[in-house]
Amino acid sequence: MRAHILAVTALLILTALGFAIFPGHTYLQSDTQIYIPILERIMDHSLFEKEIIARQPHVSYTIYDEAAIGLRKLTSLPFRDVLAGQQLLFRFCALLGAYLIAISLGLGRTRGVLIAAIFGLGATIAGPSVLTLEYEPVPRGSALGLTMLAVGLVAHGNLIWAGCAMGLAFLYHAPAVYPFLGAYVLLTLLPSRRHRLREHLTGLIPVAAAGLLLFALATAQPTEGERQVFFGRIEPELEKAMRARASYNWISMWASRAIWQYVLLYAASMLALWRLRDRVTQDFVTLARAMPFISLMSMPVSWLLLENAKWSLMTQLQPMRAVLFVTVFAVILSAAAGIVAAEAKRWAEALAWFLIALAPSVQTRTIQVLFELQNPVYQQAAYAASTLALLILAALWLRGWRKEGFIAVLAVALALPVLVPKLAKVVNYPRLHHPELDELSRWARENTPKDAVFLFPDAGRNLHPGIFRAESLRSLYADWKGGGQINYLREFLPVWLPRWQQTLEASFRGGDLGRYRQYGIDYIAMYRKTAVENQAPVYQNAKYAVYRVP
C-alpha cells in the first residue's frame, strides 16, 4: 500500500510540474478563445449578441459545455478555474495510463513513474498541429487523457473500467478516440480472445451508453445559428479558404518529412514492442499494434476522403490528428525497451531507445535532426536528448547496484519537466497576455454596452483580439483565430471571409471612421503606433488606443 501511495504521489507531483513548468499550460491562446465566448453565451444570452462565433456554437456533440457550466454553477468559480481543474485531472489520467502500461510490463513502480515522466513531457505533432498533452483545457485534451487511462487499464485486464474511461472520453471528444475503439473491437473479435468474449463485450457497454447519451443531449440541446452538416461536399471556394486557414487538415500541404517522421516512429514502436515481446500482455499487445497502425492509416484515408472525395465531415473529424498515437506509443514503448536494455546492461542499445523516447519532446521535427545537425537549433535538441538519456542511464545504473538507487531514478523522473526546457531551450508557446491587454479588456467590459462590436484592424493574424473578446465579453467583427470555424460550419465562410478581408483592407487615413458604422462596428481598437489621425481616443493605455465609430 505504501508503494502505491508513493507512486500516486509522484504522479501527482509530475502532473503539477508539467502543468506549471513543462510542457506547461495556456488559456485563451488557442481554442479556448473560441470555447469561452460560446460558454459565456450559453450561461448568459445577453452576451455576444452580435458575435458570429458565439451565436453559432459547435459544442452539440460534446459534454464539454455541460461539464464546464455545471462545475461553474456548483463552485461559483470562473470558467478559467473550472477548466484548469479538469485539465489537471485528465493530465493525471494520462500519466496514470502510461504508468499502468509500464507496470503491466513488469518494470516496477519507480521505473513506471520514470516512463510516465518521459511521456508527460508531451510532444508537438508536426503536420496536423496537435499535441500529445494539450496546453489548453479543450475537449480533445480531456479525451486523450481518458484514452491513455483506458489503454493502461486494458493492459491490466480491467476491461469494465477501461470501457468506463473510454465512454467518458467519447462524451468529451469522440473523434479523438476512434483508434482505441477500432483496436478494442479488433481485440474483441480475435479468435484467441473468445474465452473472454463476454467480458470484452461488457467493456463496450459504457461506450455504447455514452454514444446514446451524446446523441440524446445533442438532439435535445437548443441551438442557434447553423447546425453542423456532416454529409456534404466541399465547394472550391470553401476548399480554397480551408487550405489557407486550416492547412493542417490537408496532407498535401505538409512537408514530406513530417509524413516520414511518423512512418519511422511507427517502425520504432513496433521494434520496441518486439523487444518487449516476453513481457507484454495479450490484450495490450493487440492495442499496441493496432492503435498506431490505425493512426498511421489516417493519413492516406484522409487524403482519399478529404482531398479527393471532398467530404466535409473530414474537416470536422480531422482524422489525421490521430497520428499523435504513433508518437505516444513510440515514446512509451521505446522508454520501456530502454529500461529493459539497461537492466541487461546493454548500455548502447538503452541509450538509443532513450534518444528515440526523448526526441519528440525536445524537437517537433524529430527526423530533421538526423539530416540537419549543422543547424544550431537541431544541435541543441540533440545535445538535450543525449544529456537527458545519459542522466537516465546513470540513474538506472545506480538502481541496479545500490539499494538506494530507486531514489536516483525517482529524482531524475521528477527533474525532467525542469531540465528539458533548460537543456533544449524549448519554448512551447508565446506569452500573449500582458497588463495593457487586461486593462483594455476591463475598460471595455465596464464602459461599453454588452452588444458593442470591436474591430482590431492592425492586428492581422495576431491572437490578441481573441483574448480581448473572451476577457471583455464583447464581440469582434472578425479575427484570424475565429476563422477556424469554417471547418465546422458551412455557412460561416460567407460571413467571416468578407469581414476578414474588410479588416485587412481597413484604412483610417484622415480619420474616416464613420463609414464603418454600416458594418455594425462600434469601436476601433488599434496599436498606439498606428493611431488614427485627427481623432481623440475614448480610451488609451501604453499599447492601445480605442476610437468610437461616430
In a domain, 39, yes or no: no
**Does one domain contain both 355 and 487?**
no
Are 333 and 470 in the same domain? no
CB 23 within 8 A of CB 121: yes
pLDDT surpassing 70 at residue 156: yes
pLDDT at 231: 79
Residues 316, 459: one domain? Answer: no
Q: Do 479 and 345 sit in the same domain of this protein?
A: no
List, as one string, the DSSP characters of 269-287.
Answer: HHHHHHHTTTT--HHHHHH
What stretches of 147-256 adopt beta strand conformation (E)? Answer: none
In a domain, 347, yes or no: yes
Same domain, 281 and 304: yes
Same domain, 79 and 12: yes
* Residue 412 and residue 459 in one domain: no
Q: Are 418 and 412 in contact (CB under 8 A)?
A: no
Q: Report the alpha-carbon distance of residue 230 to residue 509 in Å, rounded.
A: 45
Amino acid identity of residue 329, one-letter, is: F
302 domain-assigned? yes
The four Cα atoms 161, 166, 167, 171 give a dihedral, to 10 degrees, of 150
Within a domain: residue 454?
yes
Nearest CA to 346 out of 299, 397, 307 is that of 397
In a domain, 178, yes or no: yes
Query: Buried (b) or exposed (e) across 385-406, using 16+ Cβ within 10 A?
Result: bbebbebbbebbbbbeeeeebb
Range of the domain at 297: 2-30+61-224+232-424
Written as nine digits, the cell of 399 is 538502481
Whether the Cβ atoms of residue 7 and residue 99 lie closer than 8 Å to each other = yes
What share of the chain in percent tops pLDDT 90?
76
Whether residue 498 is predicted with pLDDT greater than 80 in this model: the reply is yes
Asked if residue 216 is part of any domain, the answer here is yes
The average confidence (pLDDT) of the chain is 92
Cβ 466 vs Cβ 456: under 8 Å: no
Segment 269-291 mean pLDDT: 96
- Do 411 and 458 share a structural domain? no
pTM score = 0.95
Q: Is 47 part of any domain?
A: no
pLDDT, tens digit, for every residue of 21-41? 999 999 999 999 999 999 999
Q: How confident is the model at residue 215 (pLDDT cuts 50, 70, 90)?
A: confident
158-173 residue pLDDT tens: 999 999 999 999 999 9
Which residue, 396, 424, 452, sits at the end of a domain?
424
Whether residue 405 is found in the same domain as residue 467: no
Residue 478 lies in a domain: yes
Of 483, 517, 515, 512, nearest in space to 500 by CA? 483
Give the domain-ending residue among 424, 454, 481: 424
pLDDT at 539 over 90: yes
- Give the model's confidence band at 191: pLDDT under 50 very low, under 70 low, under 90 confident, else very high: confident
153/219 same-domain check = yes
Q: How many domains does the chain have?
A: 2
* Confidence grade of residue 223 (pLDDT, cut at 50, 70, 90): low
Residues 246 and 351 in one domain: yes
Last residue within a domain, chosen from 371, 401, 424: 424
pLDDT given at position 133: 97
What was the pLDDT predicted at 73?
96
Q: How far is the C-alpha of 216 from the C-alpha of 64, rounded, in Å? A: 15
Judged against a pLDDT cut of 90, whether residue 262 lies above it is answered with yes
Q: Are residues 110 and 188 in the same domain?
A: yes
Q: Are the C-beta atoms of residues 48 and 35 closer than 8 Å to each other?
A: no
pLDDT band at residue 224 under the 50/70/90 scheme: low
